[in-house]
């Protein structure tokens, strides 16, 4: 934004006739003529004595210039018995703009005290880098809402009360996001003028609007052909002239400005038939012609699989602009070019962006970025489905996953400030990837000496050249600590079919674990099953090899038993072996202190034989003998050479306790309707277990009411019933449980949560041994979801507000409706009319259902009237069963079909 000096020139020609038409506005004191200049549309005062008794058929030509910008226009005014009509054509042109508009004007006076004016100005063309032609070449119009003026004269003191309705700018196709929603902007001012004795008119105005301050004053002497006008403006937004798009319109839109105008009116007789008006002026002030500067940082890929690693795509946005932002959008497209996700400015956010008490501190601020979040999070879901498409006529229920499929998605970000300066759209791509690369390993042997080299065979499955694979070898010491001995990382393409590890590089004798993982840039991780191998010293040895170090003997077929293999390394045969099991602890010496341990009779369990046996199985049963805890295994082997070897302890843990888990929610009144208030539900998760967490699930159920309208008890009846009917609303399945889950309110099928409903949730956690815990049921409520549609707002309520098959409100229904009435009477909603539709399921005959819906609609209307809402705002209708959302063949489908829909329309 920079200071500029602008000049303008206005030349008008009017033809006047004797006033003979009744009820046209006239004033014995003065007459004003709209003298909109090229720089700022404002009224200036003409000499009142010269024109007070005349009616003008006027043709006005105005031109203005500022460096390389030109504005041309003309108006024609035509008085009739019904009022004064006007029309014209204007053109704005410069190196980047070519714009036409067609003002349509009407004004009428009533007696001598009142007047009323209205104007509608459609237009098309190019302005501020924005095209107003659609993709197929047809016009796309810039529309201004009617601008009403009303006044009342009280002698010498004339208070002004003005209302300004601001407009909407839209376009049929891209960039259709640039929809400017304007709130109701009240204005209040006071003017004082004096006429007669001293032949001097002084007029001052101090209008206060929501986002601006302006002071204007005009002086004119009756018998002199000059009028003097000056003004001081300080505005935060372009509210002084409304959304007008003439030349220099946005001059005063942001900053502090002064203007000076001198008008010369040639001296003419009182009833001269025509005259010319010449006006010259200059203005100095701020002008913003630069679009916002935008920087966006986006990851190349992410994996919305709720594993706690890169589950959300972060669009980090930095905006630099001297003016407030009027509109922005972030749209994601699939490979077919279909828009699948929209982020953008909700009109309710603009309406709330500045209150009256924010005016004065805001005057000192230059940069305001209230409407664009610094970070936009995409969880990989598409926009909510339209519930009206769930059941096509004659069809079956349609479902669509809320998560988008894997693949590349294109995104486009658009933004414009309040002056119509639009930044060049920024586009990019992001990949949704929930499939990890895979790596499998297989050691050639699991018994080696320090002189050997281990060969490991690999099988890989990679999807991107940047996928990486990690190999590591680790060892468990006596304190059960995992010590990493060897580690290598490769790009997936660099991994060969096999690699080798020298046993001489491993410092300990005993059992080692070989681990392989693969991960990609999206955060997906693949864990290959652990492989084990034994390293011996160069002598006759006997060892135990376990397939696992922990078991959970709960008969769930997950880690119920441990398989123990006896392995030897010797040049002579094994003649006798013995394995004993004793109670252990978390820290044991690596070798038994006395060899006579094997000749004790106090062991918990003993295996023995003469030759190398088949693998042993330890089940940990009976539970009374083997309670939860650590156990130690020892092995002895006698060889034909006469050498006896001892090994142990080998520790194994029996875990029968489920994990400890908890879950809680953050948002108590969940309303994911796009107004950026309580739009997400945040769940905090925690779980711990000595054996480690394998997987977790967060289940969310909707409170349902069956055909008898009895509530389902969540602690006893809800889970089993809904699971049998497969009516689970949302499930988050996690292999690596995150600490937090952010939910946007979409079900697994893409349906949004419903208004004023109850949702229950619980966390199910399973450890690596199959032990499972389920947390106690918790619940949260949803508020009123006012979803934006093309005509206004829409809210869906369940018909449980009424008693079964009756039109009598329940106590809970009255509470909900009282809350609804309070909202409808708020300043945010009071400008809308209310349309109510009541629906039923197909239970009963058609006539009964239609009658029931009509009675319920009438009851809702009466209740809102009791709460103080005017009947003129309310329309209601009962539709019976003719518009189902879901199938009436299931209880849940009938529950969805019994509903109340409320529409807010202007």
Between 767 and 274, the more confident residue is 767
In this predicted structure, which of 778-787, 793-802, 860-869 has the lowest mean pLDDT? 793-802
Say whether pLDDT at 251 is over 80: no
Tell me which CATH code domain 293-358+371-432 carries: 2.60.40.2550
Tell me which CATH code domain 787-905 carries: 3.30.1330.60
Q: Which CATH architecture has domain 541-656?
A: Sandwich (2.60)
For 589-658, the three-class secondary structure string (H helix, E strand, C coil) is: CCCCCCHHHHHCCCCCEEEEECCCCCCEEECCCCCCCCCCEEEEEEEEEEECCCCEEEEEEEEEEECCCC
Q: Which CATH architecture has domain 2-287?
A: Beta Barrel (2.40)
- The token duo for 463 is 């999807």
Between 126 and 643, the more confident residue is 643
pLDDT in tens, 546-571: 888 899 998 888 899 999 999 888 88
Say whether pLDDT at 844 is over 70: yes
Q: Provide the pLDDT for residue 535.
A: 87
CA distances from 858 to 74, 105, 639, 801, 863 (A): 54, 42, 96, 14, 9
Contact 284, 40 (CB under 8 A): no
pLDDT in tens, 429-462: 999 998 899 999 999 988 888 888 999 999 999 8
Beta bridge partners of 545: 565
Angle between helices 811-824 and 846-866 (to 10 degrees): 60
- The token duo for 6 is 């602008």
Give the CATH number of domain 660-782; options: 1.10.1380.10, 3.30.950.10, 2.60.40.10, 1.25.40.10.
2.60.40.10
Residue intervals of the chain classified under CATH 2.40.160 are: 2-287
Contact 669, 783 (CB under 8 A): yes
In this predicted structure, which of 128-142, 679-693, 794-808 has the lowest mean pLDDT? 128-142
Residue intervals of the chain classified under CATH 2.60.40.10 are: 660-782
Confidence band for 268, pLDDT divided at 50, 70 and 90 = very low
Q: What's the mean pLDDT in 52-64?
A: 39
Between 591 and 859, the more confident residue is 859
Say whether pLDDT at 289 is over 90: no
Distance CA(351)–CA(349), nearest Å, equals 5
Confidence band for 368, pLDDT divided at 50, 70 and 90 = very low
Residue 838: burial class (beta carbons within 10 Å; 0-12, 13-18, 19+): buried
Q: What's the mean pLDDT in 205-217?
A: 40
Distance CA(805)–CA(709), nearest Å, equals 10
Q: Which position has the token pair 């940069």?
A: 367
Beta bridge partners of 693: 767
Q: What is the mean pLDDT of the chain?
A: 69
Say whether pLDDT at 657 is over 50: yes
Q: Provide the pLDDT for residue 500.
A: 92
Radius of gyration from C-alpha coordinates of the chain: 40
Distance CA(258)–CA(346), nearest Å, equals 35
Q: Provide the pLDDT for residue 501.
A: 92
Give me the percent of the chain exceeding a pLDDT of 90.
Answer: 26
Closest CA to 407 of 366, 459, 463: 463
Contact 506, 486 (CB under 8 A): yes
In this predicted structure, which of 395-404, 661-670, 686-695 has the lowest mean pLDDT? 395-404
Q: What's the mean pLDDT in 789-816?
A: 86
Rank 17-26, 82-91, 470-479 by mean pLDDT and report only the highest: 470-479
Q: Provide the pLDDT for residue 80.
A: 60
pLDDT in tens, 192-204: 333 333 344 444 4
Please give the sequence-ordered ranges of beta strands (E in DSSP) within 477-530, or none if there are none: 482-491, 498-502, 510-519, 525-527
Confidence band for 117, pLDDT divided at 50, 70 and 90 = low
Q: Provide the pLDDT for residue 906.
A: 82
In this predicted structure, which of 399-403, 566-570, 576-580, 826-830 has the lowest mean pLDDT? 399-403
Residue intervals of the chain classified under CATH 3.30.1330.60 are: 787-905
pLDDT in tens, 141-151: 333 333 333 33
Contact 462, 492 (CB under 8 A): yes
Q: Provide the pLDDT for residue 43.
A: 29
The strands making up 629-639's β-sheet, listed across from edge to edge, are 550-551, 644-654, 629-639, 574-583, 605-609
Say whether pLDDT at 399 is over 50: no
Residue intervals of the chain classified under CATH 2.60.40.2550 are: 293-358+371-432, 541-656
pLDDT in tens, 28-48: 222 223 332 222 222 222 222
The 8-class DSSP code of residue 357 comes to G
Q: Provide the pLDDT for residue 702.
A: 87
Beta bridge partners of 617: 563
Say whether pLDDT at 82 is over 80: no
Model confidence, pTM: 0.62
Please give the sequence-ordered ranges of beta strands (E in DSSP) within 402-481, or none if there are none: 407-417, 426-432, 438-443, 447-449, 453-461, 468-476
Between 785 and 362, the more confident residue is 785
Confidence band for 291, pLDDT divided at 50, 70 and 90 = confident
In this predicted structure, which of 405-409, 641-645, 760-764 has the lowest mean pLDDT? 641-645
Q: Provide the pLDDT for residue 168.
A: 30
Between 894 and 388, the more confident residue is 894
Contact 899, 756 (CB under 8 A): no
Q: Provide the pLDDT for residue 365.
A: 43
Say whether pLDDT at 487 is over 70: yes
Q: Provide the pLDDT for residue 272.
A: 39
In this predicted structure, which of 64-78, 177-191, 520-534, 847-861 has the lowest mean pLDDT? 177-191
């Amino acid at each position: 934004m920079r200071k500029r000096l602008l000049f303008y020139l206005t030349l008008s020609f009017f033809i006047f006739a004797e006033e003979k038409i009744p009820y046209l506005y006239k004033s014995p004191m003065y007459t004003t003529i709209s003298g909109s200049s090229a720089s700022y549309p404002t009224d200036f005062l003409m000499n009142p004595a010269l024109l007070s008794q005349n009616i003008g058929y006027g043709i006005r030509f105005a031109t203005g210039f500022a460096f390389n910008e030109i504005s041309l226009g003309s108006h024609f005014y035509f008085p009739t018995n019904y009022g004064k009509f006007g029309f014209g054509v204007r053109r704005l042109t410069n190196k980047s703009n070519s714009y036409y508009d067609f003002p349509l004007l009407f004004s009428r006076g009533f007696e001598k005290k009142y007047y009323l004016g209205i104007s509608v100005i459609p237009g098309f063309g190019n302005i501020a880098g924005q095209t107003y032609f659609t993709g197929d070449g047809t016009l796309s119009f810039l529309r201004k809402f009617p601008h009403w003026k009303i006044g009342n004269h009280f002698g010498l003191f004339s208070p002004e009360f003005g209302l300004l309705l601001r407009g909407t700018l839209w376009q049929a196709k891209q960039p259709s996001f640039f929809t400017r929603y304007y709130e109701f902007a009240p204005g209040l001012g006071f003017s004082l003028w004096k006429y007669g004795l001293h032949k001097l008119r002084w007029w001052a105005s101090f209008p206060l609007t929501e986002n601006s301050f302006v002071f204007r004053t005009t002086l004119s002497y009756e018998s002199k052909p000059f009028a003097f006008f000056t003004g001081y403006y300080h505005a935060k937004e372009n509210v002084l002239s409304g959304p007008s798009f003439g030349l220099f319109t946005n001059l005063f839109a942001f900053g502090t400005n002064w203007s000076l105008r001198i008008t010369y009116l040639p001296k003419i007789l009182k009833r001269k038939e025509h005259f010319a008006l010449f006006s010259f002026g200059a203005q100095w002030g701020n002008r913003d012609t630069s679009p916002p500067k935008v920087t966006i940082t986006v990851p190349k890929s992410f994996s919305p699989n709720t594993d706690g690693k890169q589950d959300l795509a972060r669009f980090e946005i930095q905006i630099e602009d001297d003016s407030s932002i009027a509109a922005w959008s972030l749209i994601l497209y699939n490979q077919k070019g279909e828009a699948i996700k929209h982020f953008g400015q909700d009109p309710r956010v603009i309406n709330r962006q500045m209150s009256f008490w924010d005016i004065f501190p805001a005057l000192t601020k230059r940069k305001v970025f209230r409407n664009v979040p610094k970070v936009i999070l995409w969880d990989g879901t598409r926009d909510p489905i339209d519930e009206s498409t769930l059941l096509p006529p004659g069809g079956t229920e349609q479902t669509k996953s809320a998560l988008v499929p894997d693949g590349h998605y294109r995104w486009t970000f658009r933004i414009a400030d309040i002056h119509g300066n639009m930044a060049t759209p920024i586009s990019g791509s992001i990949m949704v990837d929930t499939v990890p690369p895979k790596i499998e390993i297989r050691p050639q042997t699991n018994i080696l000496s320090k002189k050997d080299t281990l060969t490991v065979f690999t099988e890989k499955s990679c999807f991107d050249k940047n996928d990486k694979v990690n190999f590591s070898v680790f060892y468990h010491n006596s304190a059960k600590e995992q010590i990493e001995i060897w580690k290598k990382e490769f790009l997936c393409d660099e991994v060969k079919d096999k690699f080798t590890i020298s046993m001489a590089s491993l410092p300990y004798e005993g059992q080692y674990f070989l681990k392989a993982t693969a991960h990609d840039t999206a955060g997906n991780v693949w864990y290959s099953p652990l492989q084990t191998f034994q390293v011996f010293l160069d002598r006759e040895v006997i060892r135990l090899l376990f397939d696992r170090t922990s078991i959970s003997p709960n008969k769930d077929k997950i880690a119920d038993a441990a398989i123990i293999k006896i392995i030897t390394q010797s040049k002579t045969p094994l003649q006798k072996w013995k394995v004993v099991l004793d109670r252990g602890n978390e820290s044991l010496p690596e070798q038994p202190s006395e060899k006579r341990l094997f000749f004790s009779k106090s062991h918990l369990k003993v295996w023995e034989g003469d030759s190398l046996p088949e693998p042993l199985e330890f089940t940990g049963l009976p539970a009374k003998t083997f309670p939860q805890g650590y156990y130690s295994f020892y092995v002895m082997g006698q060889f034909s050479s006469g050498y006896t070897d001892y090994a142990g302890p080998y520790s194994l843990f029996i875990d029968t306790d489920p994990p400890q888990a908890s879950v809680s929610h953050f948002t108590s009144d969940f309303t994911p309707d796009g107004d950026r208030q309580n739009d997400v539900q945040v769940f905090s998760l925690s779980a711990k277990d000595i054996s480690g967490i394998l997987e977790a699930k967060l289940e969310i159920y909707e409170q349902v009411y069956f055909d008898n309208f009895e509530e389902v008890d969540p602690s006893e009846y809800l889970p089993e019933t809904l699971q049998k009917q497969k009516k689970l609303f949302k499930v988050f399945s996690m292999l690596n449980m995150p600490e937090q889950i952010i939910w946007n309110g979409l079900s697994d099928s893409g349906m949004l949560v419903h208004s004023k409903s109850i949702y229950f949730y619980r966390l199910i956690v399973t450890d690596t041994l199959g032990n499972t815990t389920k947390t106690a049921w918790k619940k949260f409520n949803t508020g009123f979801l006012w979803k934006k549609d093309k005509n206004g707002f829409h809210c869906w309520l369940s018909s449980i507000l009424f008693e079964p098959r009756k039109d009598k409100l329940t106590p809970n229904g009255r509470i909900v409706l009282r809350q609804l009435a309070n909202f409808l009477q708020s300043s945010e909603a009071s400008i809308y009319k209310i349309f109510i539709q009541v629906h039923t399921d197909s239970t009963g005959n058609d006539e009964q259902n239609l009658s029931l819906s009509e009675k319920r609609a009438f009851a809702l209307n009466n209740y809102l009237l009791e709460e103080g809402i005017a009947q003129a705002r309310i329309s209601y209708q009962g539709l019976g069963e003719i518009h189902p959302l879901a199938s009436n063949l299931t209880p849940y489908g009938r529950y969805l079909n019994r509903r109340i829909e409320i529409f807010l329309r202007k």
